[in-house]
């Protein structure tokens, strides 16, 4: 007998929407269609609801449990669940609590991440490694990393732990040859370092100079270079947190030539603009200090167009669970020392739905594509990302007509603020299932610490 049927809702996939019931057995979807799953052991009424695949958030910086915050990885996984995200990928860069030993070797870092997150998560999760200049020989470790179920890794073109162009090319080549995909943070170190030096020499240390020293052209130039290096390596490349029209044009040009170039954007760039940096109060400005920085309204509009038209492949949160008094260190330190990041693991679906389909900027089907299907496909999460037979029953019952105001007091993440305080969004997550098990129902957490499994991935 079927375990469960979710009945009466509107099932949304990347290619269409229809009234359909969803039958679930052993945690997998076994049938989708009207009247399937008759006589199931359990029935969930989804009348009036959209039945969406859980969001797959491929860009988070969740932090490992630590003595002073033993629950932080778990808290962010619960936050993901409340937000309708049933799978997330985490980076294990040093700021996330990885030990010195884990920081010095990709493989040691992977083993440490797995050991310290075992039994911690409420939803499924995986790892994307981070290649830094501090590691002894990360490029040599890539083949074994890929073979161990971690086929994606991020490298930086900026910051003191960046890779040189030569090493970036080598990393792209090894990833391409061994079935991996490199994720690249594209900003020009040459441009930014010189602008930062000028600002500091002039005594301009306030928060807003973070953005002023990271112009859009510095991102566009690095994006162009990363694409050229990927071409030279005969490899695919994935550009993280694309924020501006000029970088998008580089991606669109590469895609038009048929090159395997993929790009994500993130909710801050779809929801906010650089007017935030004009606030008088430094404590306000610091909440929006992220890299790349917030851009102009014209850039924001261009990103929405790119998402709709396909120049951008997906949206991920770039969640950084900073706290104002701790990592953000209010009152503000000189801008080069400010932690660059903002929380967002819980607000991803809410913002993309509220500003996307609910505002007429994209279809529901495209939303499911950019939040679930494409991230699952590009990142080797083959059982995730779609309400179809054979996939994991990671389902979100979403009320498209409810309205919700985002407030820190209503969120579950380990951060102590949200950049979206007071944003009113149409649509609300009502219930969330992970492999057929209830994690959230009507605003109550029904899940379990450790119910989420580490997913070993293989790219297509």
Taking the complex as a whole, how short is the minimal distance between the CB of residue 405 and Zn ion, in angstroms?
Answer: 27
Least distance (Å) between residue 419 CB and Zn ion: 15
Which part of the chain contacts Zn ion (CB under 5 A), choosing from 155-163, 313-321, 343-351, 370-378? 313-321
Q: Give how many residues touch Zn ion by CB under 5 A.
A: 1
We find the least distance from the C-beta atom of residue 30 to Zn ion, in angstroms, to be: 37
Residue 90 or 148: which CB sits closer to Zn ion?
90
Of the candidate residues 246, 318, 369, 394, the single one contacting Zn ion (CB under 5 A): 318
Q: Give 2 or 103: the residue with its C-beta nearer to Zn ion.
A: 103
Q: Which span (18-26, 38-46, 316-324, 376-384) binds Zn ion, by CB under 5 A? A: 316-324
User: In this complex, which beta carbon is closest to Zn ion, that of residue 246 or of residue 318?
Assistant: 318
Where does this chain touch Zn ion (CB under 5 A) — which range of 29-37, 73-81, 288-296, 310-318? 310-318
Supply the minimum distance, in Å, between the C-beta of residue 59 and Zn ion. 6
Closer by beta carbon to Zn ion, 219 or else 318: 318
User: 262-301: which residues touch Zn ion (CB under 5 A)?
Assistant: none
Q: Does 187 bind Zn ion (CB under 5 A)?
A: no
Q: Who contacts 157 (Cβ-Cβ below 8 Å, separation ≥6)?
A: 163, 168, 184, 185, 186, 187, 188, 189, 222, 225, 226
Residue 313 or 318: the one with the smaller Cβ distance to Zn ion is 318
Binding mask 420-459 for Zn ion (x = CB under 5 A): ----------------------------------------
For Zn ion, which is the closer residue by CB, 46 or 272? 272
Query: How crowded is the C-beta side of 309, counted as CA atoms within 13 Å?
Result: 13
Segment lying near Zn ion (by CB under 5 A), choices 4-12, 277-285, 315-323, 437-445: 315-323
Chain position whose Cβ is nearest to Zn ion: 318
4 burial type by CB count under 10 A (0-12 exposed, 13-18 middle, 19+ buried): buried
Q: Which stretch binds Zn ion (CB under 5 A): 29-37, 312-320, 425-433, 443-451?
A: 312-320
Of 68-76, 121-129, 187-195, 311-319, which part binds Zn ion (CB under 5 A)? 311-319
In the bound state with Zn ion, the residue whose beta carbon lies nearer, of 221 and 318, is 318
CB of 83 to Zn ion, least distance (A): 17
Q: Can you tell me the distance from the alpha carbon of 254 to that of 311, in angstroms, rounded to the nearest whole number? A: 10
Beta carbon of residue 316, minimum distance to Zn ion (angstroms, whole number)? 9
Question: Shortest CA distance to 399 belongs to which of 350, 347, 346?
Answer: 350
Residue (of 326, 291, 285) closest to 72 by Cα position? 326
Shortest reach from residue 31's CB to Zn ion, in Å: 38
Cβ proximity to Zn ion: between 303 and 368 the closer is 303
Minimum distance, C-beta of residue 370 to Zn ion, in the bound complex (Å)? 17
**CB of 61: closest distance to Zn ion in angstroms?**
6
CB nearer Zn ion, residue 274 or residue 318: 318
* Residue 176 CA: distances (Å) to CA of 233, 413, 458: 7, 35, 13
Tell me the window of 92-100, 208-216, 314-322, 327-335 that interacts with Zn ion (CB under 5 A).
314-322
Contact residues toward Zn ion (CB under 5 A) are: 318
């Amino acid at each position: 007998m079927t375990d469960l049927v979710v009945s009466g809702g509107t099932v949304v996939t990347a290619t269409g929407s229809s009234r359909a019931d969803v039958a679930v057995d052993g945690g997998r979807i076994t049938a989708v269609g009207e009247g399937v799953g008759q006589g199931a052991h359990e029935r969930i009424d989804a009348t009036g609801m959209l039945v969406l695949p859980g969001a797959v958030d491929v860009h988070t910086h969740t932090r490992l449990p630590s003595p002073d915050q033993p629950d932080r990885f778990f808290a962010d996984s619960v936050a993901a669940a409340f937000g309708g995200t049933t799978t997330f990928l985490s980076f294990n860069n040093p700021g996330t609590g990885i030990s010195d030993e884990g920081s010095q070797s990709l493989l040691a870092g992977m083993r440490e991440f797995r050991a310290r997150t075992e039994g911690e998560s409420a939803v499924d999760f995986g790892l994307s490694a981070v290649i830094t200049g501090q590691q002894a020989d990360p490029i040599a470790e890539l083949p074994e990393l890929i073979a161990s179920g971690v086929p994606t890794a991020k490298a930086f073109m900026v910051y003191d732990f960046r890779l040189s162009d030569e090493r970036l090319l080598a990393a792209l080549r090894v990833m391409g040859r061994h079935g991996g995909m490199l994720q690249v943070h594209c900003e020009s170190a040459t441009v930014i370092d010189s602008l930062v030096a000028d600002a500091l020499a002039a005594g301009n240390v306030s928060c807003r100079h973070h953005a002023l020293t990271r112009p859009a052209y510095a991102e566009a130039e690095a994006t162009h270079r990363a694409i050229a290096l990927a071409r030279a390596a005969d490899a695919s490349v994935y550009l993280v947190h694309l924020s501006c029209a000029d970088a998008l044009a580089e991606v669109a040009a590469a895609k038009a030539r048929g090159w395997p170039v993929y790009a994500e954007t993130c909710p801050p760039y779809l929801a906010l603009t650089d007017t935030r940096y004009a606030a008088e109060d430094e404590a306000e400005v610091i909440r929006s200090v992220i890299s790349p920085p917030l851009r102009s309204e014209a850039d924001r509009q261009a990103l929405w167009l790119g998402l709709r038209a396909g120049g951008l492949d997906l949206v991920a949160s770039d969640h950084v669970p900073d706290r104002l008094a701790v990592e953000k260190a209010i009152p503000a330190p000189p801008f080069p020392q400010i932690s660059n990041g903002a929380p967002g693991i819980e607000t991803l679906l809410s913002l993309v739905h509220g500003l996307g389909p609910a505002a007429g900027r994209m279809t529901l089907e495209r939303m499911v594509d950019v939040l679930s299907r494409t991230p699952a496909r590009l990142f080797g999460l083959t059982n995730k990302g779609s309400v179809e037979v054979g996939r994991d029953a990671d389902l979100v019952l979403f009320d498209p007509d409810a309205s919700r105001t985002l407030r820190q007091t209503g969120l579950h993440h380990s951060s102590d603020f949200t950049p979206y305080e007071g944003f009113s969004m149409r649509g609300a997550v009502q219930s969330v299932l992970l492999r057929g098990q209830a994690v959230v129902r009507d605003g109550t957490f029904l899940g379990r610490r450790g119910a989420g499994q580490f997913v070993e991935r293989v790219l297509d």
